[in-house]
C-alpha cells in the first residue's frame, strides 16, 4: 500500500530535527508498490530516504520524498537456522517480475549464515536480532540509527566494522527499466562511507534498494581492535555483552536524537599523505592520534582536529558542537535552522584548514 501526503512535515523524519517540509511524500510497504509508481510523473526531484539519520535538509524539499516500510528478516534456505520473519513486508511478493529479483538459493560456507533483510527495517533491530541468534559480523554497529537500505548505501561503520564487509548482494528496483536488479558486493564498490548507491555515486538516483543479503558467522568472531573496546569488555566476549558495551559506549559519547537533534558523525576522518601527518606531528605539543593505512597514507580523526581548534562544546546560535564528541554537530535548542548548521560547519572547516592545512569533508548528506 502506498501512503501519499502533500506538504509533508519532515521534522520527525530527520534526526537533526530540521523543521522542513516535502512537496510530496510517498511511503510504501511492498515491492509491488514500486511497480505502481509512475516515476516520470512524480514531482521532481525525487529523493529516497531511510531513517533520516545521516542527512541535513538545507531547505524545504520541492519534489518527492520516498520512504520504504519493507521490514522483513529471513534466513535463507540452506543456512540451517530456519526462517524468521518480522514486520509487514515478509517477502517482496512482486520480486519475481524482474531478473535476479530474489536470491536464487542460499549459498553457505563453513560456519556462515546468509540472511535477507528488508531495506526499511531499522538497522539496530537487525543488530539486536543477529545478536540474539548468535550471528557475528555487525555487533559493533549496534546502536547506529537509520535503516538497512541506507546502511548498505552509505556503508556505515563503527568500532572496527563496516556494514559493507558482510553485504553479499543488494537487490534494487531500476526506476528507468522498471525491473529488479541484483548487485554483488563487488558491484557496490564499497569504500570508506561509500558505495555506488550513496549520494554522488553513479547509481544513486536510478536505483531503489529493496532488500539486502548479508553473510554472518555462526562461530564467534569478536572484532576488538578498535580503541579500548577489549578493555571495556573486561574479558566477557559474548556477543550480547559486546552489543551492550557498544551501545553503552555510544550513549556515553553521542546525543540521543530524540532529545538533541543531530546526524551522528558530521565529518569524515581525513586521509592524508604521510608527509602531511609528520608535519602535523612535529609541530604538535600532544601526540597526534592516527591510523596507518596499507597504501602508506594516514587517517587522522576529524574529532581530534576539531577539538584542537577549540570547537568542542562551542555554540553558534541554536547550533553547537557536542561537548562529549566534537565530531557531532547538534541542534542545541531544537530551534536551529538549516543555515545555522551550515554556518557552523563552514566555520569549523575554515579553522581546521587554517591550523592544519586539511580540508574536512562532510559525512552527512546535504539535501
Residues annotated as part of the active site: 193, 265, 363
Residue corresponding to grid cell 584548514: 353
How many other C-beta atoms lie within 10 A of the C-beta of residue 72?
A: 20
How many other C-beta atoms lie within 10 A of the C-beta of residue 216?
A: 23
Which run of H or E residues covers position 188?
helix 185-188
| Measured distance CA(146)–CA(53) in Å, rounded | 5
Cα dihedral: 350, 355, 359, 362 (round 10): -60
Which run of H or E residues covers position 248?
helix 239-253
b/e sequence 86-103, b meaning 16+ C-beta within 10 Å: ebebbbbebbeebeebbb
DSSP string computed for 8-52:
EE-GGGSTT----EEEEEEEE-SHHHHHH--GGGSPSSEEEESSS
Q: Where are the beta strands (DSSP E) in 185-316?
A: 207-217, 261-265, 271-272, 291-292, 298-299, 315-316
Q: How far, CA to CA in Å, does 68 sit from each of 18, 49, 192?
A: 21, 8, 25
Residue corresponding to grid cell 559486546: 242
Instruction: Give burial (CB, 10 Å; 0-12/13-18/19+) of 354.
Output: exposed
The verdict on whether omega for the bond into residue 191 sits within 30 degrees of 0, i.e. cis, is: no
Q: Where are the beta strands (DSSP E) in 123-166?
A: 157-158, 161-162
Amino acid at each position: 500500500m502506498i501512503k501519499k501526503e502533500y506538504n509533508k512535515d519532515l521534522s520527525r523524519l530527520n534526526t537533526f530535527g530540521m523543521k522542513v517540509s516535502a512537496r510530496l511524500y510517498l511511503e510504501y510497504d511492498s515491492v509491488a508498490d514500486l511497480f505502481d509508481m509512475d516515476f516520470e510523473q512524480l514531482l521532481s526531484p525525487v529523493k529516497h530516504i531511510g531513517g533520516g539519520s545521516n542527512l541535513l535538509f538545507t531547505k524545504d524539499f520541492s519534489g518527492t520524498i520516498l520512504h520504504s516500510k519493507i521490514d522483513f528478516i529471513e534466513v535463507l534456505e540452506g543456512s540451517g537456522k530456519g526462517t524468521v520473519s518480522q514486520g509487514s513486508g515478509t517477502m517482496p511478493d512482486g520480486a519475481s517480475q524482474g531478473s535476479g529479483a530474489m536470491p536464487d538459493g542460499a549459498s553457505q560456507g563453513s560456519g556462515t549464515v546468509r540472511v535477507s533483510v528488508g531495506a526499511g527495517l531499522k538497522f539496530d533491530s537487525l543488530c539486536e536480532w543477529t545478536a540474539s541468534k548468535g550471528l557475528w559480523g555487525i555487533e559493533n554497529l549496534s546502536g547506529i540509527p537509520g535503516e538497512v537500505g541506507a546502511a548498505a548505501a552509505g556503508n556505515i561503520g563503527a568500532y572496527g566494522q563496516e556494514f559493507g564487509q558482510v553485504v553479499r548482494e543488494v537487490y534494487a528496483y531500476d526506476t528507468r527499466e522498471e525491473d529488479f536488479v541484483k548487485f554483488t558486493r563487488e558491484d557496490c564498490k564499497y569504500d570508506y562511507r561509500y558505495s555506488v548507491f550513496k549520494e554522488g555515486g553513479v547509481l544513486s538516483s536510478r536505483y531503489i534498494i529493496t532488500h539486502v543479503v548479508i553473510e554472518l558467522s555462526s562461530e564467534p568472531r569478536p572484532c576488538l581492535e578498535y580503541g579500548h573496546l577489549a578493555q571495556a569488555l573486561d574479558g566477557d566476549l559474548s556477543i550480547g555483552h559486546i552489543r551492550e558495551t557498544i551501545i553503552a559506549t555510544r550513549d556515553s559519547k553521542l546525543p540521543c536524537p530524540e532529545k538533541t537533534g543531530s546526524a551522528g558523525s558530521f565529518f569524515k576522518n581525513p586521509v592524508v599523505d604521510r608527509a602531511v601527518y609528520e608535519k602535523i606531528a612535529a609541530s604538535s605539543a600532544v601526540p597526534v592520534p592516527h591510523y596507518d593505512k596499507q597504501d602508506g597514507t594516514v587517517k587522522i580523526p576529524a574529532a581530534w582536529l576539531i577539538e584542537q581548534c577549540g570547537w568542542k562544546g562551542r555554540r553558534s546560535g541554536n547550533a553547537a558542537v557536542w561537548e562529549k564528541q566534537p565530531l557531532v554537530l547538534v541542534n542545541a535548542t531544537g530551534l536551529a535552522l538549516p543555515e545555522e548548521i551550515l554556518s557552523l560547519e563552514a566555520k569549523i572547516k575554515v579553522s581546521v584548514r587554517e591550523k592544519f592545512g586539511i580540508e574536512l569533508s562532510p559525512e552527512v548528506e546535504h539535501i
